[in-house]
């Protein structure tokens, strides 16, 4: 009888150990999951253009005293300040999370302010807490988010041209790995084949035009000419190339950046 009791206790101990192991392997640190994904779910808010998501309006205002922006949220007639340490001229949000840049003002430069201790932050609107995704000691121009799809954050160097940025970079917000490019950017749109079209038409004379995968791989430059207009219709990308001599021409290529074709000859003025 005593022997049977010992055997039972040993078996019970083994079972409890197995249960404990299963419990420990299934309990993990929670990872923040974006409720909305896709480029269209996130809107870029700049110092000159507010954006509305649902019944909430997001905006930002520059504070000359501290050389920083304050990010505001207005809902049901009430305005709240969410972030007071924004150093970039834009941020992106889906109404749940805000991606923005924070830095300490260092000096004025030829193309705007220079900052030290530059951080790209993820801010939760519900918890009012933020975490740092990327850090650069500087001093350097501030960074600013351009777009986000819930997995990848697209950002660049601020310029004096407002909505135009230098050196597009792509960061996986979960792993924090960054892919760097030398592309100028003012707009990113998703094509029907899943690739991204990167344009920089908000620079005074336009910019390059390129395609890439969501994570920044497979980058392909369609043209180095200054592209001033871009549109996508069906299976083709239509774009206007311009020169500093004020000549321009209309061109076309497929969604992979191949089969490029000039639709008009170089001529004075803007090609239509």
Burial 208-236 (b: 16+ CB within 10 A, else e): bbbbbebebeebeebbebbbbbbeeeeee
14 is a domain residue? no
Within 171-212, residue ranges assigned H as helices are none
Q: Which of 151, 131, 265 is nearest to 213 (CA)?
A: 151
- pLDDT at residue 134, as a whole number: 97
**70: number of Cβ within 10 Å:** 16
Do 201 and 97 lie in one domain? The reply is no
- The last residue of one of the domains, among 147, 180, 213, is 180
Query: What CATH number does the domain containing 210 carry?
Result: 2.40.10
Same domain, 157 and 246: no
The pLDDT assigned to 187 comes to 97
Q: Specify if 49 maps to a domain.
A: yes
- Note whether 150 and 174 are same-domain residues: yes
3 belongs to a structural domain: no
Tens digits of residue pLDDT in 128-182: 999 999 999 989 989 999 999 999 999 999 998 989 999 999 999 999 999 999 9
CA quadruple 155, 160, 164, 165: dihedral, nearest 10: -30
3-state SS assignment for residue 20: helix
pLDDT < 70: residue spans in the chain = 1-37, 109-112, 269-272
Q: Are residues 39 and 137 in the same domain?
A: yes
CATH assignment at residue 91:
2.120.10.80
51 with 157, same domain? yes
- Give pTM, 2 decimals: 0.84
pLDDT value of position 25: 31
Radius of gyration of the chain (CA): 25
Model pLDDT, residue 176: 97
Residue 246: predicted pLDDT: 87
Domain boundary among 180, 199, 231: 180
Range of the domain at 173: 35-180
- Considering its fold, how many domains does the chain have in total? 2
């Amino acid at each position: 009888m005593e022997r049977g009791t010992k055997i039972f206790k040993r078996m019970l101990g083994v079972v409890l150990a197995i249960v404990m192991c299963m419990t420990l392997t299934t309990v993990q640190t929670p990872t923040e999951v974006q409720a909305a994904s896709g480029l269209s779910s996130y809107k870029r808010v700049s110092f000159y253009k507010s954006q509305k998501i649902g019944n909430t309006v997001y905006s930002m205002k520059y504070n000359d005293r501290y050389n920083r922006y304050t990010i505001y949220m207005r809902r049901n007639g009430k305005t709240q300040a969410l972030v007071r340490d924004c150093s970039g001229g834009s941020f992106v949000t889906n109404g749940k999370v805000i991606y923005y840049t924070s830095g300490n003002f260092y000096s004025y430069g030829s193309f705007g302010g220079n900052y030290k201790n530059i951080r790209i932050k993820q801010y939760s609107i519900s918890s009012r807490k933020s975490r740092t995704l990327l850090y650069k000691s500087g001093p350097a121009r501030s960074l600013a988010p351009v777009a986000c799809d819930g997995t990848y954050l697209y950002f660049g160097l601020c310029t004096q041209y407002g909505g135009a940025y230098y050196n597009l970079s792509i960061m996986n917000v979960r792993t924090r790995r960054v892919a760097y490019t030398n592309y100028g950017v003012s707009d990113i749109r998703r094509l029907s084949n899943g690739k991204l079209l990167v344009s920089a038409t908000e620079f005074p004379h336009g910019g390059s035009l390129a395609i890439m995968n969501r994570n920044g791989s497979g980058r392909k430059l369609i043209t180095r000419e200054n592209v001033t207009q871009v549109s996508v219709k069906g299976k083709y990308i239509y774009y206007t190339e311009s020169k500093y001599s004020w000549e321009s021409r209309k061109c076309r290529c497929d969604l992979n950046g191949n089969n490029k074709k000039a639709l008009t000859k170089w001529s004075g003025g803007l090609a239509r």
